Amino acid sequence: MAGRLQGKTALVTAAGQGMGRAAVLAFAREGARVIATDLKAELLAGMPREVATSPLDVLDDAAVQAFVERTGAVDILFNCAGYVHQGSILDCGIDDWDFSFDLNVRSMFVTTKAMLPKMIAAGGGVILNMASVLGSHKAAPNRLAYAASKAAVAALTVALAEELKGEGILVNAVAPSTLDTPANRAAMPKADVAKWVSLDDAAEAICHLASPSNRATSGALLPLYGRA
């Protein structure tokens, strides 16, 4: 159903590639005005005219706060920035662990905390977080830091939804298994990609959670396992 997000404004982090870019394009197709941000501004090239682009380092607290002050309230915030550390606990240094939690969890906290007062003052909205089946539904070899940080994302989502009851803001997360992205294909050339989740299918789930047709679901972690 086209036009589900007509008149809405969406902000997407890590929008230059992968799931972030797919969400931006899906939001725009559904009629939203989209603000696409990424640490690497060059990755934001080629966006549709409905999409405004801006570089943003979500690990820079002051930059996030200043960006939100300039942007003002949005109807949809999609916290998509993330990092996958590969390795066991013995391979994971303290810096790797800290970076995983800083980018995968802390950046969501900082961005959401900056935007929330404006969303509440504007009458509500939707917050969507990028989680994973790892850490919330299962484990996998060599993904310890990633799974632990995504488990924290799941807990953050549920707790925030509880806190915001009565504020007109729905908070949910999508939790895909392996996404069919160029980066994942390059990293796992021998994998059976037919079992992966397509970006189009994941974007459709995100659009549903962001749309007015979702009037009550909050605090949900939506697992996406693909069609195979």
Which of the residues 27, 67, 78, 146 is marked catalytic? 146
The pLDDT tens digits of the residues spanning 62-121 come to: 999 999 999 999 999 999 999 999 999 999 999 999 999 999 999 999 999 999 999 999
DSSP-assigned letter for residue 87: B
For the chain, domains (ranges, CATH) are: 9-224 (3.40.50.720)
In the structure encoding, which two tokens stand for residue 127, read together? 């917050």
Closest CA to 172 of 127, 110, 225, 107: 127
Output phi, psi for 51, to 5 deg: -110, 125
- The CA distance from 94 to 36, in Å, is 31
Closest CA to 106 of 37, 141, 58: 58
Model confidence, pTM: 0.95
The pLDDT tens digits of the residues spanning 200-210 come to: 999 999 999 99
Which residues sit opposite 35 in a β-bridge? 11, 52
Residue 225 falls in the annotated catalytic set: no
